């Protein structure tokens, strides 16, 4: 589906991201709340990883760190062989826009914009021309099965359809990594299955997928399952297929 | 690249303003009224000031005008008024000015009386000016047809006159006035010339003070004026008449001259000469029966007043724009907090802080700029209506347009920047979580 010229350090089966001794703490009233402790994690290009764990174990926090939305308190994080910690806000924004696609549990579509316009947002910030971005947005909408809903606003769509828009949007700039935080958490099982199928297809096309989930089905589809418990990686499982 | 970005930024801005049409309109109204009131007020102020300056200039900036005024009644006679009240400027005063003041170029002594004039079956109340042949030198009055009064007319007390266009309009609808006779107070005067009208301001004040005797006086110069040799007026009209404003019907008053106009050679000599005139007058007049008017001084006062007026207007305008700006800031703060999640989404999808600043600032600027443009239209419309229906002169200066538009834009930037920065500096994760 998507032909990507892989930049340096992102070849298939090499470490696309690596975390060493990563910690994240919040300070509430002077008291340290250690949300992530000593995370060591390497993910290779094209891998399909599920992150599981009880509520409050730090899954979302970890995903935000991976997506450069947040900065770690301690430790090192290399993305494509480059340390992220030294980058400034503009450079992090650039990475988010170019290399990362986010899919959220509650879709996070902009209510005033229609399907195509929502999908166009990431391209707008990368300076893609109006024509090119409109064309690509329509392609992506068709791809996720919303070819006949392009002018609809988010509130005119079902949850499953909204989540498909959000996936299409995540794909807009042809990112290397797709991060999804409980993408099926707000959906019924049929809609959830649609989303799973799309994720599977993306994996088949060589995307690196990192999905936070409680969904056993996703876990069985993924190649690796990381179990978080109380901010630590408690267990890693590899699925053989 | 920049142009292409700018176009999309504007599009995005218009779109989100359009989404909140009512709110945007109400916000822009603050700026519209601010800008239009600045322009309108300055236009009205400027018009009034120019009018005043021109009127004063018509009185002659090198002139010093001394006028007769009726002195306040003194009660030394124990409540009983004199039968003959003698006051005002005299020929002796004119001689003193002529001989005692250096720098004098010309002196014009005048009589000014309000009389009924008759021509055939027409009758009008006009101002009779008894004057000298060089009167046009110190006034705006110019002969248009025929001639003005001459030294011979003056010397031989001829019954001739020059009428101004006001009189022509009133009394000679179709006839050629030249060579006709006009009747005033039982005597006929041959019309030898037609002149332009005199400036309103040069007469009105003295006339009101002095000529309560006449019929109700028409406003300003529109009454029309007729110029007759001074000596002729002295002879035929005399210098005494019934005192009009007295309770005593038989009280008389005697006035030699209503006005003496002193013109100096050079504008720098005006203030010094005024001093000399004042000194001469206080020495020879015990009663307070005269008034000295210096147009140059009035002009300076008018200018000073205009400066204060402009400062006051400017401050009011600045305050109204400030209020408009605060309104905009208030709305933008509300907009930002309402759109917190959108900001988080955009940040997660690759928007830099700068992009967010630009997005919100451009919305504010679109509001203030369009408010500014509409404000200019309204601001030009108001003075236009005032001039058309209010018969008031207004002058819209380019400076006022630039000023108003500049201030409104500055207000937009200043009050838009803070909400925009606040939007940009929000933590992406927290704003994403915001519902
Ligand atoms: N901004 C914050 N300030 C303080 N504490 C925070 C903040 N964000 C998260 N936490 C805390 O960090 C811990 C981990 O939160 P996180 O959202 O990563 O959990 P999670 O594993 O995603 O849970 P869930 O499955 O319920 O989504 C929680 O205890 C939470 O209270
Ligand atoms: Mg979570």
Domain co-membership, B250 together with B224: yes
Place of tokens 């991201």: A17
Smallest CA–CA distance from B350 into chain A, residue:
A97
B274-294 core/surface letters (b: 16 or more CB in 10 A; e: else): bebbeebbeeebeeebbeebb
Asked if B268 and B379 sit in the same domain, the reply is no
Is B8 in Cβ contact with A126 (below 8 Å)?
Answer: no
**Atom of ligand 1 at shortest distance to CA of B429?**
1
Does residue B65 form part of some domain? Answer: no
- Domains belonging to chain A, first-starting first, are 15-238 (3.40.50.300)
Q: Is residue B295 assigned to a domain?
A: no
Query: Which is nearest to B113 in space by CA: B101, B131, B97, B134?
Result: B131
- Whether B131 and B8 share a structural domain: no
| Residue B64 in domain | no
Is the domain of B79 the same as that of B51?
A: no
Q: So what's the pLDDT on residue B81?
A: 56
The answer to whether the Cβ–Cβ distance between B353 and A93 falls below 8 Å is yes
Task: Evaluate: CB of A60 within 6 angstroms of ligand 1.
Answer: yes
CA-based nearest residue in chain B for residue A127: B5
The reply to whether B428 touches chain A by the CB within 8 Å rule is yes
Looking at the fold, whether B119 and B266 belong to one and the same domain comes out as yes
pLDDT < 70 stretches in chain B: 1-4, 73-82, 199-222, 243-250
Q: Ligand 2 center to residue A64 CA distance, Å?
A: 10
A58 Cβ below 6 A of ligand 1 = yes
- CA A208 from chain centre, in angstroms, equals 9
Q: Which of A16, A74, A31 is nearest to A206 (CA)?
A: A16
Residues of B in contact with A174 (CB under 8 A): none
User: Whole domain around residue B9: which residue ranges?
Assistant: 2-55+302-433
Both B136 and B231 in one domain: the answer is yes
The whole-angstrom distance between residue B79's C-alpha and the CA centroid of its chain comes to 42
**Going by DSSP bridges, is the β-strand pair A100-103/B225-229 parallel, antiparallel, or unpaired?**
unpaired
**Residue minimizing CA distance to atom 9 of ligand 1:** A61
Task: State whether A96 and B16 contact (CB < 8 Å).
Answer: no
Residue B296 lies in a domain: no
Residue A8, class by beta-carbon neighbours within 10 Å (0-12 exposed, 13-18 middle, 19+ buried)? Answer: exposed
B272 and B368 together in one domain: no
Domain termination residue (choose one: B229, B256, B288)? B288
- Asked if B48 and B124 sit in the same domain, the reply is no
Q: Are A14 and A44 in contact (CB under 8 A)?
A: yes
pLDDT at B215: 30
Which of A96, A97, A124 minimises the CB distance to B8? A124
Residue B245 neighbours by CB under 8 Å, 6+ apart: B70, B212, B213
Q: Which of B261, B288, B315 is the last residue of a domain?
A: B288
Q: What is the mean pLDDT of each run of 10 residues along chain A (241 residues)?
A: 46 79 92 93 94 94 94 92 91 95 93 93 93 95 93 94 95 94 90 91 93 88 93 89 62
Of all ligands present, the nearest one to the C-alpha of A62 is 1
Q: Is B294 inside a domain boundary?
A: no
User: Do B233 and B255 sit in the same domain of this protein?
Assistant: yes
Please tell me the distance between residue A36's alpha carbon and the centre of ligand 2 in angstroms: 13
Strand partners, B104: B264
pLDDT at B82: 60
Contact A241, A66 (CB under 8 A): no
User: What local confidence, expressed as pLDDT, does residue B74 receive?
Assistant: 59
| C-alpha span between B117 and B126 (Å, rounded) | 7
Residues B387, B313, single domain; the answer is yes
Q: How far is CA B246 from CA B9, B88, B287, in A?
A: 80, 17, 18
Instruction: State residue A9's pLDDT score.
Output: 47
Cα dihedral value A133, A138, A142, A148, nearest 10: 160
Tell how strand B259-264 and strand B104-119 pair up. Answer: antiparallel
Q: Is A56 in the pocket of ligand 1 (CB under 6 A)?
A: yes
Give B428 to chain A, closest Cα distance, Å.
7
Separation CA B294–CA B290 (nearest Å) = 13
Query: Residue B217: what pLDDT?
Result: 35
Residue of B nearest to A93 (CA): B350
Tally of structural domains, chain B: 2
Residue A85 is classified by DSSP as T
Protein residue closest via CA to atom 14 of ligand 1 = A58
In-domain check, residue B374: yes
- What is the model's pLDDT at position B245? 58
B1 closest CB neighbour out of A89, A93, A127: A127
Query: B198 and B342: one domain?
Result: no
Determine the residue of chain B that is closest to A169 in CA distance: B349
Contacts B1 to A, Cβ<8 Å: 127
Give the pLDDT confidence score for residue B50 in this predicted structure.
85
The two beta strands, B122-131 and B225-229, are: parallel
Q: Which residue on chain A is closest to B17 by alpha carbon? A: A112
Residue B105 counted as domain residue? yes
Question: What are the backbone dihedrals phi and psi of residue B367, each rounded to the nearest 5 degrees, phi first?
Answer: -60, -50
The rounded distance, in Å, linking the Cα atoms of B1 and A126 is 12
Q: Could you tell which of A22, A61, A63, A71 is best to mutate to test the pocket of ligand 1, judged by most ligand atoms within 8 Å of the CB? A: A61
Domain end residue (candidates: B258, B288, B318):
B288
For residue A125, the chain B residues in CB contact (below 8 A) are 346, 349-352, 355
- Closest ligand 1 atom, residue A54 Cα: 25
Nearest CA to ligand 1 atom 6: A26
Does residue B174 belong to any structural domain of this protein? yes
Chain A nearest C-alpha distance from B8 (Å): 8
Residue B48's pLDDT is what?
83
Ligand 1: does its nearest atom lie under 6 Å from the Cβ of A35? yes
Query: Same domain for B42 and B145?
Result: no
């Amino acid at each position: 589906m998507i032909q990507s010229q892989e930049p340096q350090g992102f070849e298939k089966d090499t470490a696309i991201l690596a975390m060493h001794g990563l910690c994240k703490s919040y300070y509430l009233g002077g008291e340290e709340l250690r949300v992530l402790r000593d995370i060591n994690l390497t993910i290779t290009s094209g891998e399909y990883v599920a992150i599981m764990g009880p509520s409050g174990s730090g899954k979302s926090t970890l995903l935000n760190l991976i997506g450069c939305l947040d900065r770690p308190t301690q430790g090192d994080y290399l993305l494509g062989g480059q340390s992220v910690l030294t980058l400034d806000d503009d450079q992090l924004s650039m990475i988010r826009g170019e290399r990362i696609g986010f899919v959220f549990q509650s879709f996070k579509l902009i209510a005033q914009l229609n399907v195509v316009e929502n999908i166009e947002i990431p391209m707008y910030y990368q300076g893609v021309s109006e024509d090119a971005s409109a064309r690509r947005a329509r392609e992506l909408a068709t791809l996720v099965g919303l070819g006949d809903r392009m002018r609809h606003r988010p509130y005119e769509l079902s949850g499953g359809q909204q989540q498909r828009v959000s996936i299409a949007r995540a794909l807009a700039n042809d990112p290397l990594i797709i991060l999804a935080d409980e993408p099926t958490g707000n959906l019924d099982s049929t809609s959830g299955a649609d989303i799973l199928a799309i994720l599977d297809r993306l994996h088949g096309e060589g995307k690196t997928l990192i999905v936070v989930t409680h969904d056993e089905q996703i876990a069985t589809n993924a190649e690796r399952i990381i179990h978080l418990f109380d901010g630590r990686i408690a267990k890693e499982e590899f699925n053989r297929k | 690249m920049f142009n292409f970005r700018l176009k999309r930024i504007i599009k995005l801005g218009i779109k989100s303003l359009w989404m909140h049409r009512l709110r945007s309109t109400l916000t822009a109204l603050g700026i519209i009224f601010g800008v239009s009131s600045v322009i309108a007020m300055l236009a009205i102020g400027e018009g009034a000031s120019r009018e005043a300056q021109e009127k004063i200039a018509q009185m002659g900036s090198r002139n010093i005008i001394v006028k007769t005024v009726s002195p306040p009644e003194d009660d030394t006679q124990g409540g009983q008024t004199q039968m003959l009240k003698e006051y005002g400027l005299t020929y002796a005063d004119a001689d003193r000015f002529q001989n005692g003041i250096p720098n004098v170029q010309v002196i014009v002594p005048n009589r000014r009386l309000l009389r009924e004039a008759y021509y055939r079956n027409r009758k009008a109340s006009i101002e009779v000016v008894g004057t000298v042949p060089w009167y046009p030198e110190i006034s705006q009055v110019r002969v248009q047809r025929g001639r003005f009064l001459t030294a011979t007319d003056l010397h031989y007390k001829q019954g001739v006159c020059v009428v101004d266009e006001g009189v022509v309009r009133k009394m000679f609808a179709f006839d050629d006035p030249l060579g006709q006779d006009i009747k005033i107070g039982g005597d006929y005067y041959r019309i030898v010339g037609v002149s332009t009208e005199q400036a309103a301001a040069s007469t009105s004040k003295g006339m009101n003070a002095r000529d309560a005797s006449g019929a109700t006086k028409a406003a300003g110069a529109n009454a029309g004026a007729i110029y007759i040799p001074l000596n002729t007026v002295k002879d035929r009209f005399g210098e005494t008449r019934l005192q009009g404003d007295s309770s005593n019907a038989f009280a008389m008053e005697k006035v030699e001259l209503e006005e003496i106009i002193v013109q100096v050679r050079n504008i720098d000599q005006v203030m010094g000469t005024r001093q000399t005139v004042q000194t001469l007058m206080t020495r020879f007049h015990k009663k307070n029966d005269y008034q000295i008017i210096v147009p140059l001084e009035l002009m300076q006062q008018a200018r000073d007043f205009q400066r204060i007026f402009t400062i006051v207007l400017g401050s009011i305008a600045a305050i109204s724009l400030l209020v408009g700006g605060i309104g905009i800031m208030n709305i933008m703060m509300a907009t930002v907090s309402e759109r917190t999640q959108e900001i988080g989404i955009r940040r997660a999808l690759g928007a830099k802080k700068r992009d967010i600043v630009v997005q919100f600032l451009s919305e504010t600027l679109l509001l203030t700029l369009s408010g500014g443009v509409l404000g200019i239209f309204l601001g030009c419309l108001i003075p236009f209506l005032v001039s058309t229906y209010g018969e008031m002169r207004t002058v819209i200066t380019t400076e006022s347009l630039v000023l108003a538009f500049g201030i409104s834009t500055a207000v937009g930037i200043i009050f838009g920047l803070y909400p925009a920065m606040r939007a940009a500096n929000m933590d992406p994760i927290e704003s994403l979580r915001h519902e």
